[in-house]
Amino acid sequence: MAYTTGNRTLSKIGIIGSGQIGPDIALHMTKVMQPHGVSIVVVDISEDALAAGRKKLEKKIDRGVESGAFKPEFGQAMKDNALFTNNYEELRGSDLVIEAASEDLGIKRKIFGLVEGMVDENTILSSNSSHMEPEVIFGECKNKSRCAVIHYFFPAERNPMVEIVPAAETDSAITAWLMRYYEEIGKVPIEVGSRYGYAMDPIFEGLFHAAAKCVEEGLGTVKQVDDVARRTLKQGIGPFTAMNLTGGNPLTYVGLQHYAEKIHGWFAPTALMKDHMDRDVAWDGVKRGEKPEVPEDAAARIRDRMLGAFFGIVGEILDSGISNVADLEMGVGTALVTAPPFALMNQIGVAQSLELVERYAADHPGFPVPRCIKDQAAKGVDWDIPVVLRNDRDGVAVLTIRRPAVLNALNKDVFEQIENHVSAIEADSSIRGAVITGFGRKAFVSGADIGMLAAVKTVADGEATSWHSNSILLKVDRCSKPIVCAYNGLAFGGGNELALACHARIARTGLRVLAGQPEPNLGIIPGAGGSQRLPRVVGFEKANVMLRTGRPVGGPEAVECGLISEEVEGDLVTRAVELANDMANNGFTRINREPLADASLGPVDLGHLSTAVDAVIQKAVVEGAKLGLDEGLRFESKCFGEVCGLEDMRIGMENFMKNGPRSKAEFLNR
């Protein structure tokens, strides 16, 4: 057995280093690779480190078994699949090697000098360095084209973010493969240009440094600054508490010294930090349940300082060109569990955000005011934060919805960015068609963002919300160029309605749950075309069950009923691009827009679902079908508004937000 993606096959993965992060990388790899028969080897010269590493891995697996995350037999298989050894010969045959040893250049170069002669010429060599430039790490390697940094974040088995950092000589095909592979195994990779610290650590360590400066300048105690910074930046834990948990004092101290040399002088470590490091003491951060008292005037000063530093640090990284708005926004929220910076600037106001940075810079000579924030403030508009990314391939625009934290759920931004992309595709003579897909493998689109639906308060709000979605998906539907939906994972609610607006649909194979319209469980009806397009695509009999009971279909059933044309075993997007080009060459059949004379629905078992909501669903489907598609969509929006006036809509929404999607709402049928 092996794991194949793109033009590479993995049968063994080698991990060098059984210290703080190596065992966690091994845990993630054995979890995702054991079912494919890919063995994991962890090598370290220290027997004590190996024993501690295996104990750490097994303890975390045991916790997963106890919590029900893993079945006992799978937990044991994961353990059996991970070999901990001091024998470097066990690395022979590895297709991917991840070095996770000490952040010491001499050690890293010694390791790669040894390993490069042991593995195949096609083996990818990578380092989990958190700071060093790949050109420095791999400077003595003979074949630098297959080398790159893969930077994991704490804790590596659970934090989804990885930075992929190619060197100047790294083969672009290697970088592309790593990006694809990590997306497939459940991580959220971003490609970052080569610079000391990459993109995320200067933010993480910079925020800690800014907090330490607040304390050193007398704005508050460590505990007070930790609490205010956490609340200001919407962090799970404050910067001092995070430093304690990651054990990063010595590494961060060295990192700050290098930032001061290689980025700008503001990063020079504080005397306060040096004192804590020299005495080897933890920071007096906020303990669980603690709520430190902070006078409001002091809290306001700390807030302004932390925001000014935060925006300035992020803006400098954007100015440097090693990353972009979309990746920084997602990366900060995902890797650092911190408020996404550009959305926060939009919330505060870009001009006001610039003022905070300028005030911070005035108080801290050497701290730069980023050009990008100045330019954005001068424009007088909010930051544009891409969540629908475009990548052109073979004359086809591939649009990827990337909101992994919410399984690519649709919100106002997604809808409007899709609309803008479709308009641009229509106007681009070099583009013959488009593909719409989702990021990752779990979901194409998990549905409409619940926050968007919960904001609906009145019948008029409901109709307007529905029509906004319908009008945009009409532009997808009416596009003169073929648009193919590539279901990379499940599609629920608005996600499936987006797919239905496309001119063709395909899915990766093996999806036991592919598509569904679960709106009745929430006390609502489809509001983005589902009541009108689904019957036209799969017929009234199948649509009757899906729309009124919320029951989803899997891949084979989707082929059988005509929802998708095929399941794809290999590269889904490549096949979708081929299909779009074929449709552009040979024409394609659009959805029937005429009134349907045979509009009728048979009985279904509603179970716990609301009969009041079901009556509105039936009306939308049957009466809408008699009007023709375009008028039917307008009618659907009116019906969506109507259902928003029902008591059961509020019950369904409140139950979902409080108890989650698996909980059955207690509807009152009114």
Predicted pLDDT at 182: 98
Instruction: Read off the pLDDT band of 464 (50, 70, 90).
Output: very high
* pLDDT of the residue at 178: 98
CA distance 238 to 235: 6
3-state class (DSSP) for residue 528: coil
Which tens digit of pLDDT belongs to each residue from 532-591? 999 999 999 999 999 999 999 999 999 999 999 999 998 999 999 999 999 999 999 999
Mean pLDDT of the chain: 96
Q: Once rounded to an integer, what is the mean pLDDT over residues 141-158?
A: 96
Q: Is the pLDDT of residue 213 over 80?
A: yes
Q: Catalytic amino acids? A: 497, 519
pLDDT per position as a tens digit, 96-114 = 999 999 999 999 999 999 9
Which domains, from first to last, does the chain contain?
3-191 (3.40.50.720), 201-379 (1.10.1040.50), 388-659 (3.90.226.10)
What one-letter code names the amino acid at 42?
Answer: V
Instruction: Check: CB of residue 635 under 8 Å from CB of residue 623.
Output: yes
Tell which phi-psi region holds residue 68, choosing left (phi > 0), alpha (psi between -120 and 50) or beta. left
Percentage of residues of the chain with pLDDT beyond 90: 92
Give the pLDDT confidence of 3-51 residue by residue, as tens digits. 999 999 999 999 999 998 999 999 999 999 999 999 999 999 999 999 9
pLDDT at 75: 97
The predicted model gives 288-300 an average pLDDT of 93
| pLDDT, position 360 | 98
- The tokens describing 242, both together, are 């995070």
Q: What is the pLDDT of residue 302?
A: 98
Which sign does the torsion angle of CA 240, 246, 250, 255 carry?
negative
Nearest-angstrom CA–CA distance, 580 and 437: 13
pLDDT band at 661 (very low <50, low <70, confident <90, very high): confident
Q: How confident is the model at residue 643 (pLDDT cuts 50, 70, 90)?
A: very high
For residues 520-526, average pLDDT: 95
Strand (E) or helix (H) holding 150: strand 147-152
Can you give the pTM of this predicted structure? 0.94
Complete edge-to-edge strand list for the sheet that includes strand 188-191: 82-85, 39-43, 12-16, 96-99, 124-127, 147-152, 161-166, 188-191
| 345: pLDDT strictly greater than 90 | yes
pLDDT at 172: 97
- Write the burial class of residue 291 (CB in 10 Å: 0-12 exposed, 13-18 middle, 19+ buried): exposed
pLDDT class of 288 with cuts at 50, 70, 90: confident
Q: Which residues pair with 445 in a beta bridge?
A: 491
* pLDDT tier at 600, thresholds 50, 70, 90: confident
Nearest Cα neighbor of 311 from 196, 197, 203 is 203
The pLDDT-based confidence of 450 (bands split at 50, 70, 90) is confident
Q: 298-313: string of b/e by CB count within 10 Å (b at 16+)?
A: bbebbbbbbbbbbbbb
Q: What is the mean pLDDT of residues 413-435?
A: 97
Q: How confident is the model at residue 392 (pLDDT cuts 50, 70, 90)?
A: very high
User: Does the structure show a pLDDT above 90 at 446?
Assistant: yes
Contact 135, 162 (CB under 8 A): no
Closest of 103, 338, 344 to residue 242, by C-alpha: 338
pLDDT at position 452 over 90? no
More confident residue, 369 or 663: 369
Residue 247 has pLDDT above 80, yes or no: no
For residue 248, is pLDDT > 80? no
pLDDT score at 456: 86
- Band (pLDDT 50/70/90 cuts) for residue 660 is confident
